[in-house]
Structures are given as C-alpha cells and as structure tokens.
C-alpha cells in the first residue's frame, strides 16, 4: 500500500472509532443545522479533527479541504487532501448503519489516493491511481452490464434548498422501466464505493460537493468504471453532477439524463 494511502487509512479508522464510540449516545449529541435538512454534529467535527491531526502531522506541507473546517494547511501546495469526516450524518443521527468516512488526495488537481471506510461493517475501500481498487485488500471491479435492462442503480434525492428537485424527478422517470430497481441509501461516498465493488451497477446524483465524491470517483475509475458529468465531460468535481458506471451502462444513463434535463446541464 502506498505510504500516503496507508496514512489515510489510519486516519479513517481513527475517525471511525470516534463515531462508533458515540453511537450509543445519539440522543445526547449536539446537533446544528447548516441549512434546512443539512445537519452537523459534534461527531462530524471531532472526526474531522482526528483526521486532520493525523494527516497534518504526517504531511504538514500539504493543503486540506474538509467539509466542516473548509480550507487549511499550505494553500500553495501541489497536494490537497479532500475530507468528508462523516458522509451520511442524517443516517448516523437516526441509527441507520449506512455512513462512511471519505478521504482523497489530489496532486496537481489529479486524484491519486482514495479511502472510503464504513466503520459499522468494517469495510475499507481503497484505491491508488494506476493500482486498482480494493475492498479489505480484495480487488474489486464494476459490473459488466451492457445497458439499463436489469440494472440496479443508486442515486441521491435532493433535500437541500440549493438542490434541484424537478430535474432529478425527470431523470428518475427516465430511468424507470427497464431497470431492476433504484436505491437511495444516504451516503454518496458509499454509493460510489458500491459501484466500484459491483454492488450497484450505476449511480447518478445532482449537486454534490467535492468531499462527497472525490474518493468515490477514484475508486470507480480504478475498478474499471467511468465517471462523467451531465454534459458527458470530466467536470463532476466542479459541477457537482455525476454519473458513474461501466462504460456501456454509463452511455445509456447519460442518454437518459441528457434527454431529461434542460440545456443548462449540457454545458
């Protein structure tokens, strides 16, 4: 395992320990609302602090982008860590065991290392650019499904005021029919990891943040999948709009999305 990936794994496991220890006292946690239906807890902040402490001590010359703390570290660095300390906070608060820690490393804007860790199931998804994707040290691959027929897809239902509901519903209607089903599990990082592991055939979502998807994007690519934005380009990290699948299925999903949404998503 690459030394930087190994450090990220150590940080993710440490954050997972924070979450599991606090999971027995969910009713006493301090919870704040960042905006309507978008919550942050003391555990999000504690987990991010643990991650930043481990990464910062190992790589003090790097930059950091965390969901809760924003940008920190050396702003001019070629290296930037992108951190979501608790992806699936709403699930966590309700005792639903579907949440994860997501840590990715960019070098000069290119994703190089990725960790998505599910502390409840003790499932560790990792990837290094050019080195493949793994689940608990076992190589994983996307499925080989050739089209929408029989596909099991993941998605996220818009829940914040800044996320569009009508365009999403249009894509949802377009996907229904030939597919086997749609799952909305509540953690984008795990959804992407599940595409990489072949548990989901494909995934699409509107208006994600970089920390929601950075690690998952590299996992999918290293598992033989493809990532695109809704215009068919490589702008998901900036636009927030993402489709992930194997190349053939991705083409079918992209066609549905582009036939369902307005021209503003085609750019």
The reply to whether the predicted model has a pTM over 0.75 is yes
Provide CB contacts within 8 A for 44, sequence distance 6+: 67, 68, 85, 86, 89
Taking the C-alpha atoms of residue 253 and residue 117, their distance in angstroms, rounded to an integer, is 27
Mean pLDDT by 10 residues, the chain (267 residues): 96 96 75 51 89 98 94 93 95 93 97 98 98 97 96 91 85 94 96 98 96 98 98 94 97 96 78
State in words which class domain 3-139 has: alpha beta
- CATH (one of 3.30.70.20, 3.40.50.620, 3.40.190.80, 3.30.230.10) for 152-265: 3.40.190.80
| Per-residue pLDDT at 1 | 82
The whole-number pLDDT of residue 107 equals 98
Through-space distance between the first and last CA atoms of the chain, rounded to whole angstroms: 38
Domain parsing of the chain, residue ranges: 3-139, 152-265
- pLDDT at position 36, please? 46
126 touches 153 (CB < 8 A): no
pLDDT of residue 37: 37
Question: What are phi and psi for residue 106, nearest 5 degrees?
Answer: -100, 140
pLDDT at 43: 85
């Amino acid at each position: 395992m690459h030394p930087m990936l190994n450090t990220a794994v150590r940080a993710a496991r440490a954050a997972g320990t924070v979450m599991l220890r606090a999971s027995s006292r969910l009713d006493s946690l301090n919870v704040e609302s960042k905006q309507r239906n978008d919550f942050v807890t003391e555990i999000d902040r504690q987990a991010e602090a643990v991650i930043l402490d481990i990464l910062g001590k190992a790589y003090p010359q790097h930059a950091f982008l965390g969901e809760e703390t924003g940008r920190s570290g050396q702003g001019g660095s070629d290296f930037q860590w992108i951190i979501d300390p608790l992806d699936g906070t709403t699930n966590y608060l309700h005792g639903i065991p579907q949440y994860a820690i997501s840590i990715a490393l960019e070098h000069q804007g290119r994703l190089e290392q990725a960790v998505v860790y599910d502390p409840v199931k003790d499932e560790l998804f990792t990837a290094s650019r050019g080195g493949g994707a793994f689940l608990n040290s076992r190589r994983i691959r996307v499925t080989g499904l050739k089209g929408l027929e029989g596909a099991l897809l993941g998605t996220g239902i818009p829940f914040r005021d800044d996320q569009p509901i009508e365009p999403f519903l249009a894509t949802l209607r377009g996907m229904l029919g030939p597919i086997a089903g749609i799952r909305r599990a509540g953690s984008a990082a795990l959804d992407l990891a599940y595409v990489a592991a072949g548990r989901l055939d494909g995934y699409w979502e509107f208006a994600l943040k970089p920390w929601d998807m950075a690690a998952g994007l590299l996992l999918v690519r290293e598992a033989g999948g493809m990532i695109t934005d809704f215009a068919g380009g490589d702008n998901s990290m900036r636009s927030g709009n993402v489709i992930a699948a194997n190349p053939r299925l991705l083409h079918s999903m992209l066609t549905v999305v582009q036939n369902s949404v307005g021209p503003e998503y085609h750019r």
